[in-house]
Chain A
Amino acid sequence: MSEVLFSCWNGKVVDNRAKEADTLESPAHISLPANFFNGKDIKAFMGWGGFVIKDSGISIVNLCVAFLEKVQQESCGQCTPCRIGTKIMLEIMRGIAEGRGREEDLADIISIGEFVRKASKCTIGQTSPTPVIDAITYLREEFEAAIASKNSLTKDDTSRYIGKVTAPCINACPSHLNIPQYVEDIKHGRFLDSLQVIRENTCLPGVLGRVCVRPCELSCRRANADEAIAIKHLKRFVADFESDRHITPKIPRSTSRKDKKVGIIGAGPAGITCAYYLAKKGYQVTVFERFGEPGGMSAMGIPDYRLPRSVLRREVEIVQSLGVEIRYNTLVGRDITMKKIKDEFDAVFIAVGAQGSSSMRIEGEDAGYKGYIPGVKYLLDINQGRDPYPEGKKVVVVGGGNVAIDCVRSSFRVGKEDVNLVYRRTRKEMPADDIEVKDAEEEGVKFHFLCNPTRIIAENGKVTGVELIRMELGEPDESGRRRPVPVEGSQFIIDTDILVPAIGQAIDLSFLDADTQLEVTRRNTIVVDPETMMTSEEGIFSAGDCVTGPGALVAAAGGGRTAALRMHEYLSGKPVKRSDGELMEDFFSAIGVYDPAEDLGIIGGGQRKHLKMMPPEERKSSFAEVESGFSVSEAMIEADRCLRCYRIGVVAL
């Protein structure tokens, strides 16, 4: 990796130009990943916080021109400073690059830039002049030389410049929804336009608007001033706005029908999303699904009180309206072989998720006791309207994640009276969503922290209790959380009728036949090339939980969409690879877009709007949706809190 020659990021300068090799400094606040763009090294980068130059062949003037061009492309054109100011900066800078520079140009760029930075409405204008002003400030001699020489710098420039706009929230979202845009549409009352923006990146707005783990909100810049924007609830609002009014969405789709056929295994979020984007492109898509219901874990795992089945069904119907065929009750491996699918279709997408349960590796698990029910199976039964074990009234669920929480909360709803959750660390370390843990507490779940099961106790083939051992927290492990260690001799027993392990999910690939031997990892996840989304076998693609291991819906859906893009390239004979835009987004993730320590210098205090929730006593025994969505005015007021933190970056290759 070549070293940084000069960098200025957030005002901190590193200047290695005249330094000996052994005294080189490296900028602590920004680091550029090496060999990023298909093995090409980045020569320079200019973005919202400054710029970094690695290759002495780069002309800073040309870099500024490329950057300002991108700014002009992305400026929404509404506020005066950014629309006209950055255009004039660009024209003056272009003049310098093309040998038409004048002495007063640099002062003009700086004074206009200072104005744009101070007066613009959103962060495109507020951040974009900074790197240009910094460049002129610290590398003034290069600009002056360009002005004096009257030569064109652009003629011999062989560098390729790639620009991209992002935002902290967009970058954090695995599906990269254009959040500031759809939020702004809500603010202006253009609810259906907002939904159209969302649908460019996901076909599950109503689902994600209810159950997404919302990585975007954890990276929302507004939180630096007061509270994050209610991005998830706003998405739900526009989705509900459309469905409540029975509006049939207009989905733009390619007019040319393609003769290529795609087979998809699994109608979970990954499979459905992939089907949607391929169908939009005109492919004939067939989905094979084991159950009689679409949605995968979002239907069979996530309980109805969080995600009503009707929401999921409607969104899948929209996908079907594009011509996608879903063959329900078809278990691949039993009802149809993998070989037959490969023969029948030009490309195959595997999205079978992680539908098995991990074992706790304790005595009695394989004994087949009545009352021992793995978490995923437990929820599956409840979601199909069955009480998994009607005789049992007392339940112990083991685990600290969302699945465990869903198990305990659903237990009340099928009439269980005494519901317990066992977790080996403390409340603070629980990976489950804090809000949901609170909801479960309110509903009356008994939590047992710092203990772990060691043995199942059974009589006459039925579970009667579980032996637990107390734990204490030791040294932090690789995840940064402190590792729980058992306290010798502290075993005790809780009586219970039902024991539900919910400590993890496993991937079941038994449907693959001898003919299809895909490369898998130690954890039994399918290996794909991140560049092509293809498995070890040509023409077979995969994404979702079966590739990543059990994860979040938005990640699985995002994987499905990316796979659709790659499959389209594959089927139309184009090079199968991540686009410049996708690579740039990866690049932004590597350098970090959200800075939790940034002082925004704005007036905070704008209170986030919260959804109304049924009181615990009422909701505890009901599968009806517990939260009700925003009203129109609540949504518009909440949307107005968004700061539109767009930021622009350009790399030179």
Chain B
Amino acid sequence: MEPQNIININGIDYSFTPGETILEVATRNDIYIPTLCYLKGMSPTGVCRICLVEVEGVKTLLASCSTQATPGMVVKTDTPAVINARRMNIELLLASGDHNCLARSLDAGLWTDFQLDALDIEEHRDLCPAYGDCRLQDLAILYRVKPDHVVPVNPKYDVEDVNPFIVRDFSRCILCGRCVQVCNEIQVNKVISFGYRGATSKIITRGDRALKDSDCVFCGECLQVCPVGALMPKQDMALRTPVNEMKKVRTTCSYCGVGCQIYLHVKDNRIERVTGVEGTSPNLGSLCVKGRFGYDFVAHPERLTTPLIKKDGEFHEATWDEALDLVAKRMNDIKRDFGPDSIGLFTSARITNEENYLAQKFIRAVIGTNNIDHCARL
């Protein structure tokens, strides 16, 4: 038999389908290759260089996410050369920003300078909001990186916190480009791209303006994929609740009938953050601005908790029974005096299909009119 579509990884042969990358074959066979910029299901960019592997006959190391398997290819994923490259890579990433969490252990002299430098920025005085939920921190711990001889080089861009929902902290950005990819390829808003060159590189909008002054619609897709603490929901920046103190509750978004699957991140019975559930229909992790950021009404102090009935020009708290009885009585009165066609029902996208069905049943069968419409029909 010809050695067709067989690739050897770490001494063992695996079959592959033409078009599969080394990373895909490895992952399918439970071989761990770390990734940062890789986004499943999207065209790989191969920029973070964390997933490098050794391929026989090739001078450089290759990014496994963007190299397709070819027949007879011999790959090694964990040689000393590969491990050293990954460690150096992580070290450089740590040196390129204010990553002043536990991940960083410089020699004593440099450490103080580094901390003082990082603390220059007000937002960095508290714990990084990504702490405990950061791919870079994870990798630094996994590969036991101790950046001891690398000079910190930080381009020092101001934290952008003028936006309504998203805080951009460029000094913690590792330029993996995931946000750029999802903005351009999933949401197709095409708001951000790589800007400037070399170490001054920055993810920018057109004209390097703040998100709020760009075409950004604040869907937060970029937040969802940011592996570090560079993009944060504005509410989170204020609360800074460590991830391990929050409970994740899966539910369905109630804003419209699409039925997006979301996680509520809850602490002390309060929602502190909303994220999309990856890999599940209908939204595959994506959300809109309302679903992702519009949750503060739940615990809002001004939220109504009982029905109110207006008496003598003023609202008074009432029970549900009182309120519903009043509405039913008034409807019956109006129907009797002016006929059923004097009543109309306008339904909402915030209720389910079933509830919408019941609404039209109610207006037709109970009230006796065809006056029904729906806000999404506009």
Contact = CB atoms under 8 A, between A and B. Distances in A.
Given A80-B92, A601-B58, A72 B177 contact: no
A601 B93 contact: no
B194 A601 contact: no
Contacts of A76: 194, 197, 201
Contacts of B48: 79-80
Interface string B68-100: 001001000000010011001100110110000
Interface stretch (B147-155, B219-227, B340-348): B147-155
Interface stretch (A23-31, A117-125, A137-145, A395-403): A117-125
Nearest to A105: B149
B45 interface: yes
24 contacts: A72-B198, A73-B198, A76-B194, A77-B196, A77-B198, A78-B201, A79-B49, A81-B92, A83-B96, A87-B199, A88-B153, A108-B149, A112-B92, A115-B85, A115-B89, A119-B88, A119-B89, A120-B49, A120-B60, A121-B47, A189-B185, A601-B57, A601-B59, A603-B73
Interface in A349-395: none
A118 B79 CA distance: 14
Given A78-B175, A83-B198, A119-B49, A111 B88 contact: yes
A195 to B, nearest CB: 16
Contacts of B59: 118, 600-602
A117 B174 CA distance: 20
A564 interface: no
7 smallest beta-carbon distances between A and B, as pairs: A77-B201, A601-B59, A87-B199, A72-B198, A84-B92, A75-B198, A78-B47
Given A78-B177, A80-B50, A81-B49, 5 more contacts: A75-B197, A75-B199, A77-B197, A118-B60, A121-B49
Contacts, number: 119
B25 to A, nearest CB: 15
A508 interface: no
A469 interface: no
A51 to B, nearest CB: 21
A147 B95 CA distance: 23
A118 B196 CA distance: 24
A575 interface: no
A602 B199 contact: no
Nearest to B92: A84
Contacts of A73: 197-198
A48 B307 CA distance: 76
Contacts of B196: 77
Contacts of A80: 47-50, 89, 92-93, 174-175
**Of A73, A77, A84, which is in contact with the most chain B CB atoms at under 10 Å from its CB?**
A84
Interface of B is mostly: loop
A77 B85 CA distance: 18
A472 B150 CA distance: 69
B318 to A, nearest CB: 58
Interface in B170-186: 174-175, 177, 184-185
A454 B175 CA distance: 70
A121 B61 CA distance: 9
A91 B49 CA distance: 22
Nearest to B71: A605
A109 B70 CA distance: 35
A20 interface: no
A85 interface: yes
Interface string A100-142: 0000100010011001011111000010000000000000000
B85 A119 contact: yes
Contacts of B85: 115, 118-119
Nearest to B199: A87
A111 B89 CA distance: 12
Choose among A76, A78, A86, A126 the residue with the greatest number of B CB atoms under 10 Å from its CB: A78
Contacts of B46: 79, 121
A87 B200 CA distance: 9
A30 to B, nearest CB: 21
B61 A119 contact: yes
A220 interface: no
Contacts of B151: 88, 91-92
B55 interface: yes
Interface size of B as a range: 35 or more
A104 B89 contact: no
A81 B89 contact: yes
Nearest to A600: B59
Interface of A: 71-81, 83-88, 91-92, 104, 108, 111-112, 115, 117-121, 126, 189, 600-603, 605
A505 B130 CA distance: 71
A52 B149 CA distance: 30
A117 B177 CA distance: 22
A84 B47 contact: no
A639 to B, nearest CB: 11
- Of A71, A80, A118, the most chain B CB neighbours within 10 A belong to A80
A321 B149 CA distance: 58
Contact of B92 (A71, A77, A88, A121): A88
Interface string B197-236: 1111100000000000000000000000000000000000
B260 interface: no
Given A72-B198, A80-B49, A605-B70, A85 B58 contact: no
Contacts of B92: 80-81, 84-85, 88, 112
Contacts of A77: 175, 194, 196-201
B63 interface: yes
Contacts of B61: 118-119
B197 A84 contact: no
A92 B149 CA distance: 11
B375 to A, nearest CB: 35
Contacts of B57: 601, 603
A87 B95 CA distance: 11
Interface in B99-153: 149-151, 153
A88 B89 CA distance: 12
Nearest to A86: B198
Contacts of A87: 96, 153, 198-199
B60 A119 contact: yes
Q: Which of B52, B57, B175 has the most CB of A within 10 A?
A: B175
Nearest to A112: B88
A73 B149 CA distance: 24
Contacts of B197: 72-77
Contacts of A121: 46-47, 49, 63
A551 to B, nearest CB: 35
B153 A84 contact: yes
Nearest to A636: B43
A84 B194 contact: no
Given A88-B95, A121-B46, A603 B89 contact: no
Contacts of B49: 79-81, 119-121
B150 A88 contact: yes
A66 to B, nearest CB: 15
Contacts of B153: 84, 87-88, 91
Contacts of A84: 92-93, 95-96, 153, 199
Nearest to A69: B198
Contacts of A111: 88
A96 B149 CA distance: 15
A74 to B, nearest CB: 7
Contacts of B201: 75-78, 83
A88 B154 CA distance: 10
A71 B197 CA distance: 10
Contacts of B70: 603, 605
Contact of B47 (A79, A91, A117): A79
Given A77-B175, A84-B93, A91-B151, A603 B58 contact: yes
Contact of A117 (B60, B63, B175): B60
Contacts of B175: 77-78, 80, 83
A60 B199 CA distance: 23
A108 B150 CA distance: 8
A88 B93 CA distance: 11
A108 to B, nearest CB: 5
